[in-house]
Chain A
């Protein structure tokens, strides 16, 4: 665990303790399970976003992809009677295709990630609304998918399956990003693409794979959200989720310049954002202030981070001075 992550963990615990102190209901099993469920749901696409940010890219179409793939998934199993495991595979494949298109546009046509995925944001949302004729995609009374529902929105021993899925994916992502050769290549490409090329890394492949991984994780998240909300208004379903994901990644120490960050950080970032959400609800803060609270906390977190690292450097400096020149007293 990096020092940054420890700082964030302390922040999460502190905010959690404050909320619990003010309103003990925070720690009630129902509230904890609900919060955990939301952490799982939002965590999936936040980790997805991290894979792209680490390559110095950005993915802005996450919310729209969640809407589009969600609509398609519901349509497939409810209207077209496609067996749900097959529908799931179709949705994941669609995610992979979307990711490869983004990757291809960015690496082969050299378009900027921001532009490509901004267009994606508009296009997928538009298609989703067209697909349902701006109506709502949902389950009608009597539609029953007991296995699917148990799997995706069920609980085992009170633990929501969404957070189990998130946990599994977070652990795998941690290994991929921080322990594998591919992960090292992701960081290298994000930090200095030219030097990566000179070192024999196939930068195109690495970047395309990052967008594919991101989109497939987003597709998984789309299924979870579809089953969670059970009815999808394509005009608003998943709106701003990409910004939420970016916020979690940045809180977790990812730099938008690429080549920096840790999965533990994103996980903590997601948890922090959900606790804040909870805080707004439990403390009776007007929910219109929701975004304002979140924004302020992110800003404070990022400022604190830069200040702490500056302080740490100066302390290391002082220690060195002490060790090397025992009798010296800095003049200023």
Chain B
């Protein structure tokens, strides 16, 4: 029984309870949504947003509660049932098939075939996909390889996949976490458009300004329970924050004045494989927060990796405290006091099946050892103090990192580098998927580190964030630094002027 594709959906989640070993992820949660409505779902890291969505998508079966779709009751859904009812997903964790091209990914399981032998018809697949890509304004085409896509592009790919299903309910779990402002705006416009077509949209985001912009109603989760709803006229940032975390977050962007000290990191004529012709010169001073802005693909991550040593640099030198860093040794960089919080935490930052404590201790394991042996008491002690410092929410530090919510996973990555007492810390999109409260904590942490004389380089696509936390902002375009803005000159327009040709 397939519901008519054009019939508006009406969906009710009723008293859903979901238990994971050691955590009550959802406790009696209700949520309803119907066609033509945009519902914003917000809550702290680990509040249960993704879990609730997984219940809807059939990825997770709840222990109690019921799901009503178009007046029919289900105790749980399977993924294929969810699809059949016209529910489409944009997952928080991206898992594209890197061996397929863009069209192959978007139409996975719904490939077009031609001829008697069911040969894949790439042409008509590309034709079907192209209008969607155009609507989203992607940089990549239908036949491009997915292996080379940046995280932002992968996110757009995932969104295109959901849109291609002609769904009646589209669930977006932090779809904009690595998108730039213009991409985000385009996505919000697409959502508006879908809404007028009668599609129901469930929108999860930690970027509250987006919620303000797009949502007709907001549902707040706190610690796995309903913490209240807001109607359209009441959707307002401070109110949302208060409902999410039960208190005000004062002084979101704290900026202490860092009197410029001596240069601590000097990047001299560095070129990367992606932009072999663009030489970068950059100076970071001790106790300074230097923002690195630019469009996605401007070469910021490539620069950071070339400095850190995960990608060998083509030419140029990096000087840290009068000491030249080896061109391709991460261990050497770490030893010299340079650490990097990578962009893609799942692949580069974490060992998902390992215990939280083992993740935190890994880079500094040599210092935590007696002779050849790991000092496991010291390891535990370190993790406990990290947990306290960053408020990592978990039942136990011996739990696998995979069991943490996205935001808490990011905190584990931060913890492991903070434990190294770096002199220079590079953050690549540090607050992606992090809730407001924790964001404020991370900003405060950056400021404290800077006060102690640590040099901080922050790559961020979140304009507001870059402007809010940086003492200076360097803007990149096509692999080159096109300008550096001081605290007085920095503004969204100024950055964009330097970022776009």
- A binding-site residues for B, Cβ under 8 Å: 175, 179-182, 184-185, 187-188, 191-192, 194-195, 197-202, 259-260, 313, 316-321, 324-325, 328, 330-332
Docked Cα-Cα span, A286 to B24, in Å, equals 55
Q: Which of B27, B64, B330 contacts A198 (CB 8 A)?
A: B330
B334 and A181: CB pair below 8 A? Answer: no
Residue of B nearest to A198 (CB): B348
Most buried by A among B22, B23, B63, B64: B63
Residue of A nearest to B332 (CB): A200
A330 and B64: CB pair below 8 A? Answer: yes
Further pairs besides A184-B358, A319-B21, A328-B63: 10, Cβ < 8 Å = A180-B372, A184-B365, A187-B354, A192-B352, A194-B348, A199-B330, A200-B331, A200-B363, A321-B17, A330-B64
Answer yes or no: B140 CB below 8 A from chain A CBs.
no
A184 and B372: CB pair below 8 A? Answer: no
Docked Cα-Cα span, A197 to B311, in Å, equals 10
B363 and A317: CB pair below 8 A? Answer: no
Answer yes or no: B333 CB below 8 A from chain A CBs.
yes
Residue of A nearest to B365 (CB): A181
B330 and A179: CB pair below 8 A? Answer: no
With both chains docked as a complex, state the minimum distance between the C-beta of B45 and any C-beta of chain A, in angstroms: 19
Residue of A nearest to B371 (CB): A180
* Given known A202-B331, A325-B17, A331-B65, contact A197–B310 (CB-CB < 8 A): yes
Answer yes or no: B347 CB below 8 A from chain A CBs.
yes
Docked Cα-Cα span, A324 to B27, in Å, equals 10
The 10 nearest A-B residue pairs measured at CB: A316-B21, A200-B331, A200-B334, A200-B330, A324-B24, A180-B372, A199-B363, A321-B19, A330-B63, A331-B64
Please indicate the chain B residues that have their CB under 8 angstroms from the CB of A187 in the complex.
354
Please indicate the chain A residues that have their CB under 8 angstroms from the CB of B333 in the complex.
200
Answer yes or no: B342 CB below 8 A from chain A CBs.
yes
A192 and B374: CB pair below 8 A? Answer: no
Please indicate the chain A residues that have their CB under 8 angstroms from the CB of B352 in the complex.
192
* Size category of the binding interface on chain B: 35 or more
Docked Cα-Cα span, A201 to B362, in Å, equals 9
* Given known A316-B21, A321-B19, contact A195–B349 (CB-CB < 8 A): yes
Answer yes or no: B495 CB below 8 A from chain A CBs.
no
A325 and B366: CB pair below 8 A? Answer: no
Docked Cα-Cα span, A194 to B347, in Å, equals 7
Please indicate the chain B residues that have their CB under 8 angstroms from the CB of A324 in the complex.
19, 24, 27
With both chains docked as a complex, state the minimum distance between the C-beta of B85 and any C-beta of chain A, in angstroms: 20
Docked Cα-Cα span, A184 to B353, in Å, equals 13
Docked Cα-Cα span, A48 to B250, in Å, equals 58
A197 and B330: CB pair below 8 A? Answer: yes
Docked Cα-Cα span, A194 to B305, in Å, equals 13
With both chains docked as a complex, state the minimum distance between the C-beta of A305 and any C-beta of chain B, in angstroms: 16
B21 and A313: CB pair below 8 A? Answer: yes
Answer yes or no: B373 CB below 8 A from chain A CBs.
yes
